[in-house]
Amino acid sequence: MGLDLDYLSGKTPLDEDEKDGLLFPTKSTRQELDEFEQQNIEQAMLWSMKRNFRQEYVFSEKFIRELHRRMYGRTWSWAGEFRKSNKNIGVDKREIGVELRKLCDDALFWISGSIYVPDDIAVRFKHRLVSIHCFPNGNGRHSRLMADIIINKIFRQPVFDWGRGDLTHDGDIRGIYLKAIRAADAGNYDLLTSFARSGMRDG
């Protein structure tokens, strides 16, 4: 049985052009694709954690696109490119660049004015970023890695734990995570910030 790209548990559905961008053999299984994709993501994590980045660079379209490309560039030909189709979530495709600039400007303001504590800044940025939904796929994991980079590289604090579980596929931890996301959608970030550190407290 070959790879079924319509099975996208926890992921944004792809249109036909986006499916054509797969660089992984379609005769492979979904599990093999997930494992290959995870290897790509782990390489990007190592790249990001071994380097120091200027604050202004982290909060830029260039860096946000580069991080996505490094996370998915061996899996999808469109990695690092803004989506060219509208999804059931996210802003209109024509507004991605504008909304991303607003978010980056807001984050720099939060930092310069000490508007929020570091964890809240990173988590709010993550939530707004995934709400914009810049890319065809991978937005959730990309936004979490962005939060880790912000908290570690800008504020010199430990990266988040994100419940220490699988947030991509259905399960108890993902359910708690989605509940926290829905609360953040309504303007209450307490659950999401708490969840981001939940593994550290429980461990």
- CB of 52 within 8 A of CB of 153? yes
Same domain, 85 and 35: yes
pLDDT tens column, 174-189: 889 999 999 999 999 9
Whether residue 120 sits in one domain with residue 30: yes
Contacts of 60 (CB under 8 A, 6+ apart): 104
153 and 165 inside one domain: no
- Is residue 52 classed exposed, middle or buried when 0-12, 13-18 and 19+ CB atoms within 10 A define those classes? exposed
Let me know whether 119 and 151 are in one domain: yes
DSSP state of 88: S
Per-residue pLDDT at 94 exceeds 60: yes
Averaged over 160-167, what is the pLDDT?
A: 79
Q: What percent of the chain has pLDDT over 70?
A: 88
Same domain, 68 and 31: yes
Per-chain mean pLDDT for the chain: 89
pLDDT at 111: 98
Burial 72-92 (b: 16+ CB within 10 A, else e): bbbbbebbbebbeeebeebbe
**Amino acid code (one letter) for 154:** I
Does position 127 have pLDDT exceeding 90, yes or no? yes
Query: No. of H helices and E strands in the chain?
Result: 10, 0
Q: Quote the CA–CA distance of 158 and 118 in Å, as a whole number.
A: 11
Model pTM? Answer: 0.89
Residues 190 and 127 in one domain: no
CATH of residue 69's domain is 1.10.3290.10
> Which range marks the domain in which residue 76 is found?
17-159
